[in-house]
Chain A
Amino acid sequence: MIEALNLCKRFRDKKRGEVRAVDGVSFTCRPGEIYGLLGANGAGKTTTLRMLATILEPTEGTARLCGHDIVEHPEKVRANCGFLSTATALYPRLTAQEMVEYFGKLNGLDSVTLKKRIDEIFERLDMNDFRDRRCDLLSTGMKQKTSIARTLVHDPPVMIFDEPTLGLDIMTARTIIEFIRECRDRQKTVIFSTHVMREVEKLCDIVGIIQSGKLLAEGTLEQLRQRHGENDLEEIFVKIVSPHYGAQELV
């Protein structure tokens, strides 16, 4: 369960002065649901998700993951979520197994549980061939699997994906999409950000459309279609976002 309550993030920027990257965002995602955060580049998706993962601290507002407050108990929040983005790279000089082990240990798993967990995940993701290969020698697909294994090792109830398919080839992207679906089937709470309409259509139970740091619309795909009288998600998106697009640049 994720509950975002009026999340705000302001940065100081030399050229632009104060920037409101995220401006009063509230939403709820429930276990067994995929929440898609849809927005253009710079809309505030990454900042929102980084705040949920406690990598950044909100300037105002807060959020609760599985009942833990992200400002007051960031360590507990991190122990309850897996965070994956194209920016979360692997340690090049560790092997795939060492990488996953490191995160298992940091999550407080004892060695018996950890070994069991790793064997299980490596078997399921078909990673045994490159178990002992250094991460800098892995192919993109293998790296992505290792990253997935890293986020799964402590079996977190909440999964946060920040543009997980950005820059990946079709086959690797499919593995990720498959994986996100599997997370939902296992009754995890899943939130993911993207600017690819097709991914939203394929995956999301609930869509939130974000622009200039504000959550402009929210609902199931069906609700959005009815509300805006359009069938195509792209058309809906443009309709919602256009009045606000470039607002930031104008300020």
Chain B
Amino acid sequence: MSLRNIGIVYRKELTEALRDKRTLITTFLVPLLLIPVMGAGFTGVMSMVIGSAKKEKPKVMIVGGNDSPGVVEALKQNPRINVLPTAPDWKNRVIEKDIRAAVEIPGGFDKNLAKGDAGTIKIDIYGGELKSELAAGNIDGFLKEYRDSITARRLQANHLPAELLRPFQVKRQNIAPPEKEAGAILGGIIAYMLIFMCLNGAMHPAIDLTAGEKERGTMETILSSPVSRTHLVLGKFLLVLTASLITAMLMMFSVQVSTAALQKSHVLGEMAEEGEPAPQLALRPAAIASVIIMAVPLSVLFSAGLITIALFAKSHKEAQSYIAPLMFLVVIPAVAAMLPGVDLTPKLAVVPLLNVSLLCKELVTGEYHWNYIGLIFASTCVYAAGALFLAVKMFQRESVLFRS
């Protein structure tokens, strides 16, 4: 009888939830669309800014160098910069962002170069400005090549090997396993999104099934049926939990699909440093699965907690005003976990929400510290059980059910 009644309540609440537009939107649409929309928006803007900066042929002026046609001519031939005739106010033009950079060539450069040391070429830029920095990078790279070619010619003239000046090479390479790189990049944000989605998915149904029921006047109807209040609240709780878990799972699914799509597109390559491979964003299925498992006690905690709070309210609106401040409380530990340097310690492992955020950050990178996992899963289960117990108790109280 008991399980049967919980099942009956659950199925009825499910039927109603599937006919409620707002529940459908928060449970299915938001987690599926939020990540791709946010991701596409962010990477779209980033790639647009960087792409257009890279495509632009920066305007550059050459200051001095009248007596050094060799280097000036070489600079003018460089297809990646656009050399404008020198104006006397070139400094101002850099500051006004009319031109991206100016190249100051010391007097007698060509002549001194033939002798040996020709002094220093200065590149004047607008520091911190992306397009100016990129232009400087171009000029810098070009001048180094120019210098290397002169060195090579000199070595050749003296019948010396090119390796004389380069006895060894230096190369940097990324050996982080791709999924760990993805975890390091996405870990914090995934933990944050998971907490947010578990809460968001539970919120509307929790209000609808408690305060909403009072507001619509069906509370008295259902209380007059033989179902016990414990079974009634458990049936309701299971529905809220379902919505919360579906939201969390769809969010993870959406993260997986979005990162895979992003990986395939050229956007990541454009954002990477020249010559470096694009960063890996795709997460391993095991990382996704472990995060979802952690979401279960978290969803239980949120579902039961929200039911308890919303039950006090007499209307949907009142419940929302109670729950809105809660959103901030929940977001703080989630954000704290994103800060660099905040890592799991035995003490932090029992702080609700913060522990799950920190653990998710680790799980996503494929690190499994089983003692922490056990501790955090267990402590979250304890908090969740406490919240559920409280929800059941609240549902027995006349002063809460019939608050006027």
Contacts and interface: CB of A to CB of B under 8 A. Distances in A.
Interface of A: 12, 50, 53, 55-57, 75-76, 78-79, 81, 83, 85, 87-94, 98, 102-103, 105-108, 134, 150
Given A56-B398, A75-B226, A93 B20 contact: yes
Contact of B220 (A79, A88, A105, A107): A88
A78 B226 contact: yes
Contact of A55 (B1, B220, B226, B228): B220
Contact of A89 (B15, B20, B216): B216
10 contacts: A55-B223, A56-B398, A75-B227, A89-B218, A89-B220, A91-B16, A93-B19, A93-B20, A106-B8, A150-B221
Contacts of B226: 75-76, 78-79, 106-108
Interface string B6-42: 0011001001100110000000000000000000000
A89 B217 CA distance: 5
Interface of B: 1, 5, 8-9, 12, 15-16, 19-20, 216-218, 220-221, 223-228, 398-399, 402
Given A102-B8, A105-B8, A90 B224 contact: no
Contacts of A88: 217-218, 220-221, 224
Closest 9 CB pairs of A and B: A89-B217, A83-B224, A88-B221, A79-B226, A78-B226, A93-B19, A93-B16, A106-B225, A106-B227
Contact of A106 (B5, B20, B220, B399): B5
Contact of A78 (B220, B225, B398, B402): B225
A105 B221 CA distance: 15
A85 B16 contact: no
A75 B228 CA distance: 7
Contacts of A75: 226-228
Nearest to B20: A93
Contacts of A55: 220, 223-224
A106 B16 CA distance: 16
Contacts of B20: 93
B211 to A, nearest CB: 14
Contacts of B8: 102, 105-106
Interface centre among A79, A89, A107, A134 (most CB of B within 10 A): A89
Contacts of A79: 226
A22 B351 CA distance: 48
A108 B228 CA distance: 13
Given A92-B216, A107-B226, 5 more contacts: A56-B398, A85-B220, A88-B224, A106-B225, A134-B19
B25 to A, nearest CB: 15
A79 B1 CA distance: 13
A98 B15 contact: yes
Contacts of A50: 220
Contacts of A76: 226
B221 A90 contact: yes
Contacts of A83: 220, 224
A48 B226 CA distance: 19
Contacts of B220: 50, 55, 83, 85, 87-89
Nearest to A13: B404
A89 B221 contact: yes
A94 B221 contact: no
Contacts of B227: 75, 106
B224 A94 contact: no
B228 A90 contact: no
Contacts of A150: 221
A93 B17 CA distance: 9
Contact of A94 (B1, B16, B228): B16
B37 to A, nearest CB: 29
Contacts of B19: 93, 134
A56 B217 CA distance: 16
A85 B221 CA distance: 9
B223 A108 contact: no
A165 to B, nearest CB: 16
A244 to B, nearest CB: 24
Nearest to B227: A106
Contacts of A81: 224
A178 B33 CA distance: 54
Nearest to B396: A57
Contacts of A107: 225-226
B233 to A, nearest CB: 14
A108 B226 CA distance: 9
Interface centre among B216, B217, B226 (most CB of A within 10 A): B226
B338 to A, nearest CB: 39
Contacts of A94: 12, 15-16
Contacts of A91: 12, 16, 216, 218
B402 A87 contact: no
A85 B217 CA distance: 10
Contacts of B399: 12
Nearest to A12: B399
A55 B228 CA distance: 11
Contacts of A12: 399
Contact of A108 (B1, B217, B398): B1
B5 to A, nearest CB: 6
Nearest to A11: B399
B230 to A, nearest CB: 11
A145 B256 CA distance: 51
